[in-house]
Amino acid sequence: MRVALVYNHSDKSLEVVQEFLKLCQDGQFIRDDKNPEVVVTIGGDGTLLGAVHKYGDQLDKVRFAGIHTGHLGFYTDWRDYEAAELIESLKKDQSESVSYPLLDVTITKNDGQVCNYFALNEATIRKVNGTLFCEVIINNELFENFRGDGLCISTPTGSTGLNKSLGGAIVHPFSEVIQLTEMASINNRVYRTLSSPMILAKKDVLLLKPHSHDGMMVSIDHLNYEADSFETVQLKVSQKRVSFVRYRHNHFWDRVEEAFIGARVVSKPCQ
């Protein structure tokens, strides 16, 4: 099996990298960072995000597996002391995988240039110098004029990231949808927005058209693009998906509970 390694440089991660490399020296694995079958990440969710973008043009061939060296991750199924277990599972690999939807982002610039990206967590559109004022167009029809700090469009797996902090819903990643959440919308007699998170269907195409372009900023996962030349940003469910090795069955809602609720404190109702 051809395996690539992507890791962050925390002391713990570097320790796990050494252990991982030592454990897979028995000939069944070839380290191949260029053309891997499985990409193993060691670090946090951020490390995995970076790896998915690094191998973005090979998503149809590659599966990911994450070892987390920090707190519980959403994309990382193995704990830092479980490198040996992951290697045992890789040895018995039967191509088991689970795949999740991605967000398709198309930016059209004012010179007509079109750039296409994908996001695993979310894309945001903001302005660094004042409020964002933009048309929100759904399936070619104007839905609203948004004025506020910005807009966030997330995937189901990204729904536990920035989307959650913005009051968005947590979406099970078996749903092929995208979610639009507002960042501090202005609502008064002049400006009006829906003010609720919205979940868009697979067939829906969302187009954001800012009224002024200076200071515009688009983020895609951990990457930021500053540009005054963005004319429109189009968002929809991507045709591409991202695949993970599936050797253990971690239920999504268990993961959500573990990450955000934790040990249950049973409190007695007030008498």
Query: For ligand NAP, which is the closer residue by CB, 24 or 220?
Result: 220
CA angle 56, 61, 62 (to 5 degrees): 65
221 contact, one of ligand NAP, Mn ion, none, CB 5-8 Å limit per kind: ligand NAP
Contacting residue, 70, 131, 138, 191, with ligand NAP by CB under 6 A: 70
Please check if 43 is assigned to a binding site: no
Nearer to Mn ion, 44 or 197 (CB): 44
**Where are the strands (E) in the chain, listed by range?**
2-7, 30-31, 38-43, 63-68, 78-79, 97-109, 114-119, 122-127, 132-138, 141-154, 178-185, 198-200, 206-210, 216-220, 223-226, 230-245
Location of structure tokens 């989307």: 163
For the bound state, the minimum distance from the C-beta of residue 24 to Mn ion, rounded and expressed in Å, comes to: 26
Site map 151..180 versus ligand NAP, x via CB under 6 A: ------xx-xxx--x---------------
Considering beta carbons, is residue 155 or 185 the nearer one to Mn ion?
155
Q: Which of 36, 66, 73, 156 binds ligand NAP (CB under 6 A)?
A: 73
Q: Cα 154 to chain center, whole Å?
A: 7
- 93 in active site: no
Secondary structure E strands in 83-228: 97-109, 114-119, 122-127, 132-138, 141-154, 178-185, 198-200, 206-210, 216-220, 223-226
Member of 20, 29, 55, 74 binding ligand NAP (CB under 6 A): 74
Residue from the set 4, 16, 44, 127 that interacts with ligand NAP by CB under 6 A: 44
According to the binding rule CB under 6 A, does residue 224 interact with ligand NAP?
Answer: no
- The beta-carbon contacts of 104-107 under 8 Å, at least 24 apart in sequence, are 104/234, 104/235, 104/236, 104/237, 104/238, 104/239, 104/240, 105/218, 105/220, 105/233, 105/234, 105/235, 106/233, 106/234, 106/235, 107/218, 107/225, 107/227, 107/230, 107/232, 107/233, 107/234
Instruction: State in angstroms the smallest separation of the CB of 22 from Mn ion.
Output: 26
Q: What is the contact surface with Mn ion in residues (CB under 5 A)?
A: 44, 46
The answer to the question of whether 228 is labelled as a binding residue is no
Catalytic one among 11, 26, 45, 60? 45
The annotation status of 32 as a binding-site residue, yes or no, is: no
- Judged by beta carbon, residue 24 or residue 233, the one nearer ligand NAP is 233
The answer to whether 16 and 8 are in contact (CB under 8 A) is: no
Site residues for ligand NAP, window 113-132 (CB under 6 A)? Answer: 121-122
Is 57 annotated in some ligand binding site? no
Active centre residues (catalytic) = 45
Binding site for ligand NAP (CB under 6 A): 44-46, 49, 70, 73-74, 121-122, 157-158, 160-162, 165, 221-222
